[in-house]
Amino acid sequence: MSQAAAKPRAPAKSGRRTKGASSTTRERLNSPTAFVNLSDKGDGRGSYTSKTFKIVYQPKKGVDEYVRQVASATPMQIVEIERFGVIGSLIKDLSRRMEIPSSRIFAILGIPKATAEMKAAGGKMIAGGGGQAAIGMVKLLGIAQEIVANSTATEAKGFDAAKWLGRWIERPQLSLGGRKPADLLDTPTGVEVVARLLGSIESGAYQ
Q: Print the SS3 string covering the chain.
A: CHHHHHCCHHHHHHHHHHHHHHHHHHHHHCCCCCEEECECCCCCCCECCCCCEEECCCCCCCHHHHHHHHHCCCHHHHHHHHHHCEEHHHHHHHHHHHCCCHHHHHHHHCCCHHHHHHHHHHCCEECHHHHHHHHHHHHHHHHHHHHHHHCCCHHHCCCCHHHHHHHHCCCCEHHHCCECHHHHCCCHHHHHHHHHHHHCCCHHHCC
Q: Which domain does 183 fall in, by range?
A: 2-205
Termini Cα distance of the chain? 80
Query: CA-to-CA distance for 172 and 27, rounded, in angstroms?
Result: 43
Give pTM, 2 decimals: 0.72
pLDDT above 70 as % of the chain: 71
Least confident span in 145-149, 175-179, 202-206 = 202-206
Interval 87-93 mean pLDDT: 96
Query: CA-to-CA distance for 21 and 172, rounded, in angstroms?
Result: 47
Question: Taking all residues of the chain, what is their mean pLDDT, rounded to a whole number?
Answer: 79
* Residue that wins the pLDDT comparison between 5 and 164: 164
**55 has pLDDT over 50:** yes
Domains contained in the chain, number: 1
